[in-house]
């Protein structure tokens, strides 16, 4: 993950990440499942929502906000810019802080 994205996650500005099929295979969290993963120097709960369209993920505006940006042009990769503009499907991962979370509902 790019350093500026790790920083956004640590600041609570970025709560999702989207990935291609090959990247998803390397992440290795089954669809619908959550696992604790280290991002930067902290552990987070990462949930694989599956291979979905931007509309299925909540819509363009919601995804821009969860990515910690205000426009598609701020996204680093053309694949993600295309997806946010309604083309294709990518794997969507929710990233949440586990500090203070109920261990029985994570």
Residue with the two structure tokens 């920083």: 7
Q: What does the pLDDT look like over 32-81, one tens digit per residue?
A: 999 999 999 999 999 999 999 999 999 999 999 999 999 999 998 999 99
Is residue 25 included in any domain, yes or no? yes
Is residue 104 included in any domain, yes or no? no
* HEC secondary structure over 12-59: CCCCEEEECHHHHHHHCCCCCCEEEEEECCEEEEEEEEEEECCCCCCC
Is residue 102 included in any domain, yes or no? no
Is residue 36 included in any domain, yes or no? yes
Domain that holds residue 85: 3-97
Kindly report the CATH number assigned to the domain that includes residue 23: 2.30.130
| pLDDT band, residue 105 (cuts 50/70/90) | low
Of 55, 66, 57, residue with least CA distance to 95: 66
Give me the number of domains the chain comprises: 1
Q: Rounded to an integer, what distance in angstroms lies between the CA atom of residue 93 and that of residue 34? A: 9
* pTM assigned to the model: 0.90
Q: What does the pLDDT look like over 1-46, one tens digit per residue?
A: 888 999 999 999 999 999 999 999 999 999 999 999 999 999 999 9
């Amino acid at each position: 993950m790019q350093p500026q994205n790790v920083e956004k996650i640590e600041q609570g500005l970025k709560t999702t990440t989207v990935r291609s099929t090959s990247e998803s295979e390397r992440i290795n969290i089954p669809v619908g499942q959550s696992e604790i993963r280290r991002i930067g120097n902290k552990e987070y709960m990462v949930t694989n929502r599956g291979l979905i369209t931007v509309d299925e993920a909540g819509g363009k505006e919601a995804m821009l906000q969860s990515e910690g940006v205000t426009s598609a042009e701020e996204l680093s990769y053309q694949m993600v810019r295309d997806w946010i503009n309604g083309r294709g499907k990518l794997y969507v991962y929710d990233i949440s802080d586990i500090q203070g979370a109920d261990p029985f509902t994570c």
